[in-house]
Amino acid sequence: MGIPIAIVDAFTDEPFRGNPAAVCLLDRPAPEPWMQAVAAEMNLSETAFAVPTGSGFDLRWFTPTTEVVLCGHATLATAHTLWETGRLDHAHEAVFHTRRSGELVAVRASDAIELSLPSDPPFGADVPTELAHAIGAPIVAAFTCRQGWLFELASEEAVRALTPDLRVLASLREQGVIVTASARDTDFVSRFFVPSAGLDEDPVTGAAHCVLAPFWAERLGRLEVVGYQASARGGTVRARVDGNRVRLTGHAVTILRGELLVTPAPR
């Protein structure tokens, strides 16, 4: 018997927008090489692997080339899939246990999903000259965070038009680069580049908004902010800073359901 798998567009209520994630529902833990091979075969920004436990689900995420510490959109997609397939009752929250990001929780919020993720406030820093040149646009302010770098640019137009030198960014050893600026229709606009993890540009990034939410909340003097990630697919993320957590709200749309016929070898 095969293993259930789905493709879900996250942080959107429209098919073929937002950020697609594959969600693999396992009955028991699988070997890392098998999960990495599945993620490479799916060839999406992330593939999530969920295993039921007595108190929720163990959750891991892989890009086509590596495992990542935190992935918001694939977590949202996993919660959506668990509720939609009946593996989790709609009235129950989805509790995920992760290796390096602690416990993550998803709850239904009307027709959307709210995620509770760890906050990652940025700290001011001096940007290396080579990296500044690689961004290819004037940097108003530079910061470091667990995700890597956050650069504030002068305008929404500068963020949307940016074409950084991905070769230089790929040398950052799995650190990403977030660029952001204030925006007209939302509080801010952003993009996220992480070629060192196999993703030239991530379409809509929950983990990046764990940085962006506290950054813009402090700038704007309020706890709730709305951002638009201006990738080719694009997606809107609503965020609320709650102490050392960030609560992100978004929609999800299932695009495909099927099963993996190649299963992990028994341990």
Q: What is the mean pLDDT of residues 35-42?
A: 97
**The pLDDT value given to residue 60:** 98
Which residues fall within 8 angstroms of residue 222, CB to CB, at 6 or more apart? none
pLDDT above 90 as % of the chain: 92
pTM of the model: 0.93
DSSP-H helix ranges across 152-198: 156-161, 166-169
Is residue 46 annotated as a catalytic residue, yes or no?
Answer: yes
Quick check: 237 and 206 in contact, CB under 8 A?
A: yes
Active-site residue (options: 32, 41, 46, 130): 46
Q: State the CB neighbour count (10 A cutoff) for residue 267.
A: 7
**The pLDDT value given to residue 267:** 61
Residue-wise pLDDT for 53-105, tens only, equals 988 999 999 999 999 999 999 999 999 999 999 999 989 999 999 999 999 99
Question: Which residue, among 150, 148, 155, has the nearest Cα to 174 in the 3D structure?
Answer: 148
Residue-wise pLDDT for 104-127, tens only, equals 999 998 889 999 999 999 999 999
- Compute the distance between CA of residue 229 and CA of residue 189 in angstroms, rounded to an integer: 6
pLDDT band per the 50, 70, 90 thresholds, residue 198: confident
1 has pLDDT over 80: no
**The pLDDT value given to residue 250:** 95
* Amino acid found at 215: F
3-class state of residue 97 by DSSP: strand
H-run or E-run covering 40:
helix 32-42
Q: Which fold has domain 123-243?
A: Diaminopimelate Epimerase; Chain A, domain 1 (3.10.310)
Quick check: 215 and 181 in contact, CB under 8 A?
A: no
Domain ranges of the chain: 3-117+250-260, 123-243
Quick check: 217 and 88 in contact, CB under 8 A?
A: no
Residue-wise pLDDT for 133-190, tens only, equals 999 999 999 999 998 999 999 999 999 999 999 999 998 876 899 999 999 999 999 9
- φ, ψ (nearest 5 deg) of residue 238: -95, 135
- φ, ψ (nearest 5 deg) of residue 133: -65, -35
Superfamily of domain 3-117+250-260: Diaminopimelate Epimerase; Chain A, domain 1 (3.10.310.10)
